Amino acid sequence: MISAWACYRAALRNYASRAFIIGNPNVYSALAFLVLTPGWIERVAPGLGHGTTDALDHAEFNPLFMAALMGMASIGTYYWRQVGDAIAVTIPGFLAAELHAGLSVVGLLFVLLTIPLLWCGLPAAGSAAFVAASFTFGAGIRPVRGQKPWEKSLRVLLVAGGLLLIFMPRWQVWLLFLPWPLAGGVVALSGALVVLSMTHHVGRTQAEHERAESLADARPIATARPGRARAMFRRLLLWQPARLRQAPLPPTLSRPIGPLGILLSALVSVAVMLILSAVMAAVLSMVNGEAFDRLFLHAARTNLLTLPSLALMGLNNWLMNRKDWPFFFMAGRYGGRLAFARAMFGAYLVNAILTGVGIVAPVMLFEVLLGSVPAAAGGWLGLLLVLMFVGACHGSSVPLLWREQGGKGVTVMAGIAAYMTMALANPVALYRDDHAGAAIVTALSIFVAGLAVSRLAPRQLARMDWPFDGE
């Protein structure tokens, strides 16, 4: 009989092996952010030494927070891959060993990531709360199977609360300088969420799966049609010019919404950002006594500019999700591999342009209305933002240019680099900081580079193996 200790050690050892890394792109993301952390420390530490926290302002990108988030997400991905398989239940001691090993690694990561913050001279309690809060997201972003309803609700609640927090102005300062009783509360809550995110009830998971299968099998053949208004709205949402209807859909868009659908979803995102900014401003206004309108304007101008970057993050995954490709390829219209690869890149480019225009148009409209940029500059800044977006959308394709085999890790890293470029060199933000020249040069360079990748990558893609069976 193998002892529980031996099982635990075996489970723990896997975290230091290839088993943990393979098929777990979040590991690469965490490492990429970790590499950027010393630069962040260099910027933040001197200010803290002189008693100023300006560098921690919410507009400052914090790679340590992202490293912790992605680190936790990678542990979750690996853990659920281990325990989610049906065979896991049948191995005595396996589930407990994996749980204990997973929690141990989380604990170790927690300590390791708190150290850089302490090194900067930040308070211990706040630093712990900061890392713990990032774990909340890392643990929460992954759907978990086989949980009780209250467990699911609590996870959603905690993640939503955390999401609200990170859109608050100066949230990093607030979190890092929390009084220790409050910081302790954050750590305890986050810890509970992490444990919750690794809790599953084996019988419940199985029952959920069986119920879903039998429900699907037993479902009667439905002939119900949506109401007239709903059908019209749906038609409007899905309307596409003929050329688009005949272009393969990048799976990251997941459904064939047309230009109007993209615009509508962008408007919804803008509305959500504005509401979020208003909530933040109201809370801060009550807490600090500052004027609501000033706080709202500041938050809204900044938050709206994150929308193109967020949209980019979704689009840039397209090369890692190729489940649809066999169906497009085998249907026959494209014939050979090169023609198909070109068609996929062409369709992706068109979708990137549509998404860019769809998201940038309302963002720039509100940036002008909120007085972030003058109306005269709104047009050309918007155009620059679209061009930069389209160029950056090809970031994840860059590794195809020199890698014979496309790897998930390097693709994720390239996607993150594109996201960071978009976030840090946003032409609107550069223009506001009196760097109009830099805004033009950066945006145009990225656009040209993106077009070059779009032109060169299909040939490389055609020289690689493609997944074809349910990957």
Contact 195, 103 (CB under 8 A): yes
Nearest to 436 by CA among 420, 425, 422, 450: 425
- Provide CB contacts within 8 A for 452, sequence distance 6+: none
Kindly report the three-state secondary structure assignment for every residue of 357-376: HHHHHHHHHHHHHCCCCCHH
* CA 76/CA 103 separation, integer angstroms: 10
Q: Does residue 254 bind other proteins (CB under 8 A)?
A: yes
- Single-letter amino acid code for the residue at 226: P
* CA 343/CA 321 separation, integer angstroms: 16
Q: Which is nearer to other proteins, 240 or 306 (CB)?
A: 240
Residues 316-335 that bind other proteins (CB under 8 A): 323-324, 326-335
Q: Does residue 18 bind other proteins (CB under 8 A)?
A: no
Q: Environment class of residue 274 by beta-carbon count within 10 Å: exposed (0-12), middle (13-18) or buried (19+)?
A: middle
Least spacing, CB of residue 269 vs other proteins, in Å? 18
Quick one: which segment of 131-139, 207-215, 281-289, 292-300 binds other proteins (CB under 8 A)? 207-215
Q: Which is nearer to other proteins, 327 or 402 (CB)?
A: 327
Site string for other proteins, 119-138 (x = CB under 8 A): --------------------
What one-character-per-residue DSSP string does 306-325 give? Answer: HHHHHHHHHHTTGGG--TTH
- Single-letter amino acid code for the residue at 131: V
Residues 434-463 that bind other proteins (CB under 8 A): 462-463
Least spacing, CB of residue 341 vs other proteins, in Å? 11
Kindly report the three-state secondary structure assignment for every residue of 6-35: HHHHHHHHHHHCHHHHCCCCHHHHHHHHHH
Q: Which is nearer to other proteins, 178 or 354 (CB)?
A: 354
Could you say which of 50, 219, 289, 402 contacts other proteins (CB under 8 A)? 219
Q: Which is nearer to other proteins, 57 or 213 (CB)?
A: 213
Binding-site size, other proteins (CB under 8 A): 43
Least spacing, CB of residue 408 vs other proteins, in Å? 16
* CA 387/CA 452 separation, integer angstroms: 13
Q: Does residue 84 bind other proteins (CB under 8 A)?
A: no
Site string for other proteins, 221-240 (x = CB under 8 A): xxxx----------------
Q: Does residue 469 bind other proteins (CB under 8 A)?
A: yes
Quick one: which segment of 22-30, 56-64, 129-137, 247-255 binds other proteins (CB under 8 A)? 247-255
Alpha-carbon Rg for the chain in angstroms: 24
Residues that bind other proteins (CB under 8 A): 212-214, 216-217, 219-224, 245-246, 248, 251, 254-256, 323-324, 326-339, 462-470
